[in-house]
Amino acid sequence: MVGEVHARELRHSLNDPDAFWARQAEALHWDQPWNTVLRTESDEDYAWFPGGQLNTCFNALDRHVDAGRGDQAALIYDSPVTGSHRQYSYAELRDEVARFAGALRNEGVEAGDRVIIYMPMVPGAVIAMLACARIGAVHSVVFGGFAPPELAKRVDDAKPALIVTATCGIEPNRTIPYLPLLDEALEIAEHPVPRCIVLQRPECDHPLKPGRDIDWYAACEAAEPADCLPVDATHPLYILYTSGTTGKPKGVVRDHGGHAVAMHYSMGTVYDSHPGDVYWAASDVGWVVGHSYIVYAPLIRGCTSILYEGKPVGTPDAGAFWRVIDQYKVNVLFTAPTALRAIKKEDPRGEHLGNHDIGSLRGLYLAGERSDPDTIAWAQQHLKVPVVDHWWQTETGWAVAANCRGLEPLPIKPGSASVAVPGYDIRVLDDAGEPVPAGHIGNIVLKLPLPPGTLSTLWNNEDGYRDNYLSRFPGYYLTGDAGFIDEDGYLSIMSRIDDIINVAGHRLSTGAMEEVLAAHPDVAEAAVIGAADALKGQLPVGLVVLKSGVDRDEATVCQELVAAVRASIGAVACFRTVGVVKRLPKTRSGKVLRGAMRKLANGEPCPVPATVDDPAILDEIREALADLGYPKTDRSAAA
């Protein structure tokens, strides 16, 4: 079923990667050509475009201005939560970025220094990211509103020279002050941060901390615009932290050269988007989608990118997305299945669509968690455009499997992420490392070397990089996902093979939540599992064993545990359900059987594991989960 054009492009990318990627790289501006396209020391030690020099910001902004397209819209900011919007041309955005880059330099930020960006969905976040790229600084965006302990972990790992933040983030029904969260994080962190540049928002005029905080506008007014600094293609562009199974965040490192090439290629190949098109990734800059497809890829490609500070529902209603498409004539929309499920729940008959003209829309792309067939069918029925489920990760930075409509449209199989994108060699292996037959579930791996734009390592953790991704199956990158490839070459992602759960597109560590629960003075043991949820994909469910002699009201303890997770990890965890049990199911060696509990919570068949120390415990857990409302009757909608 894979088309001839797609198959030929895929073969070329795998059989002759040097020629293939050299051709893609020629679309960009290079200050110095590369020595070789792919330098390979071993399966695990390789680099893209070594010897080459370029600047990502130049390729995203200045290149288009120099080509005479400075008046084209580069970024459109739309904020229903504040009732404001603003449009930046390529020339205007370049000038704003150059000025802020000068402000960073005035504060001593140099090439290679790290800058943490702790911002809401405002143009300043995009400007700060591009300004770092302009001078060769390494940005690390932290999801706005992340709890202080999580922000502190990232401060200690990245050791930033400076933090860029705003006074608040804005939700539909509340304002979240950021500076108190930042203050607490910097008190917890061991690494001292001497300076913070603060964007004062009208909705929250917060006093700045003397000696540390600098007003954004004052900093820009005092700065001279900074020119683009050419850097090595292998120079780090950014660090993006993703949850690890131990609760310690993993800092994924992306380089300048390979990343820019992959972003430009993917916009045309995967999303069929071209200079002048209006592209909207309804995501957040704190996620990899925001990095790749709000900021870098659309601008490198010469598109107009939408920056949306709002929700799919509630700002003001379930027609919010259709209003944006209508108002700005969006050609391509990329969002998470969670957003569509929320819209579908509020407006099952698609009545809001009747109020808007979405005729400009050519395609809808979904990623972040598995797209259930019902949601895809609903979207196709009401939007009348192709709905493309595709799969990738924070680590890969761009699509691994997709229906590449820029090459040739392929038949859509609801529930499948389609086929391998050129550059990726996808395999499915059993636990012994042997290929599994078509249609059989196994470990999804990618043959090394990975294509340009993927992670080069983990920040200050080369051993962790190898242990997490490369050691289990030598010669392959372990994705951590399980699934199968069918007879037509279509890939289906079925689940994670570890205990990372996916809550509305957020990858969260159950281990980190367990650490918070176990820290409660009344708790002896704790386990957190991901249970299927029709709206958010998964929700965390906690089970705790209280210490002997504790005779407090269990409901009160559970309320305290929910509050503790919220305070430590943040509301993003959606942790609301926890129950008290007498014991947890374990193997004879003491390992907690989280997989068995997850099956019970989801109403799946759960044969008694041969290694369980006491089979009767599973009945006790089944009863405890039933008291918490699991399995849910609508579980099938999320399966």
Q: Which of 86-90, 297-301, 593-597 has the lowest mean pLDDT?
A: 593-597
Same domain, 437 and 523: no
In a domain, 345, yes or no: no
In a domain, 331, yes or no: no
pLDDT for res 559: 95
Same domain, 292 and 436: yes
Same domain, 424 and 552: no
Buried b (16+ CB within 10 A) or exposed e, 437-460: eeeeebbbbbebbbbbbbbbbbbe
Domain boundary among 424, 451, 479: 479
Band (pLDDT 50/70/90 cuts) for residue 425 is: very high
Same domain, 30 and 166: yes
Same domain, 403 and 544: no
Q: Are 239 and 253 in contact (CB under 8 A)?
A: yes
Q: Above 90 in pLDDT, residue 427? A: yes
SS3 81: coil
Overall average pLDDT of the 517-527 stretch: 87
**Domain of residue 616, CATH code:** 3.30.300.30
Q: Are strands 138-141 and 114-118 parallel, antiparallel or unpaired?
A: parallel
Same domain, 472 and 604: no
**Domain of residue 213, CATH code:** 3.40.50.12780
DSSP classification of residue 155: H
pLDDT digit string, tens, across residues 438-494: 998 889 999 999 999 999 999 999 999 999 999 999 999 999 988 889 999 999 887
- Residue 607 CB neighbours (<10 A): 8
Domain boundary among 431, 462, 479: 479
Tell me the two tokens of residue 198. Answer: 């603060």
- Beta strands of 450-522 (E only): which ranges? 457-458, 476-485, 491-496, 500-503, 506-509
Mean pLDDT over the full length of the chain? 92
Please choose, from the candidates 25, 512, 538, the residue with its C-alpha nearest in 3D space to the C-alpha of residue 241.
512
In a domain, 491, yes or no: no
Overall average pLDDT of the 120-126 stretch: 97
Same domain, 188 and 298: yes
Q: How many domains does the chain have?
A: 2
Instruction: Return the half-sphere exposure (C-beta side, CA atoms, 13 A cut-off) of residue 346.
Output: 18
pLDDT digit string, tens, across residues 156-193: 999 999 999 999 999 888 899 999 999 999 999 999 99
Q: Are strands 236-242 and 231-232 parallel, antiparallel or unpaired?
A: unpaired
Q: Above 80 in pLDDT, residue 54? A: yes
Overall average pLDDT of the 356-379 stretch: 89
- Residue 183 CB neighbours (<10 A): 14
Overall average pLDDT of the 592-608 stretch: 85
Q: Above 60 in pLDDT, residue 247? A: no
Domain boundary among 447, 479, 511: 479
pLDDT for res 635: 44
Same domain, 207 and 100: yes
Q: Are 420 and 427 in contact (CB under 8 A)?
A: no
Same domain, 412 and 549: no
In a domain, 402, yes or no: yes
276 sits in the region (left: phi over 0; alpha: psi -120 to 50; else beta) called left
Band (pLDDT 50/70/90 cuts) for residue 636 is: very low
In a domain, 23, yes or no: yes
Same domain, 468 and 602: no
Same domain, 136 and 220: yes
Tell me what percent of the residues of the chain surpass a pLDDT of 90.
Answer: 74
Overall average pLDDT of the 600-621 stretch: 79
Which of the residue ranges 58-62, 344-348, 545-549 has the most confident prediction, judged by mean pLDDT? Answer: 58-62
CA torsion 183-573-121-170 (nearest 10°) is -70
Tell me what percent of the residues of the chain surpass a pLDDT of 70.
Answer: 95
Same domain, 110 and 210: yes
Band (pLDDT 50/70/90 cuts) for residue 570 is: confident
Q: What is the CA radius of gyration of the chain?
A: 24
In a domain, 363, yes or no: no
Q: Are 133 and 112 in contact (CB under 8 A)?
A: no
Domain membership of residue 81 as a residue range: 4-310+390-479
In a domain, 37, yes or no: yes
Band (pLDDT 50/70/90 cuts) for residue 369 is: confident
Band (pLDDT 50/70/90 cuts) for residue 615 is: confident
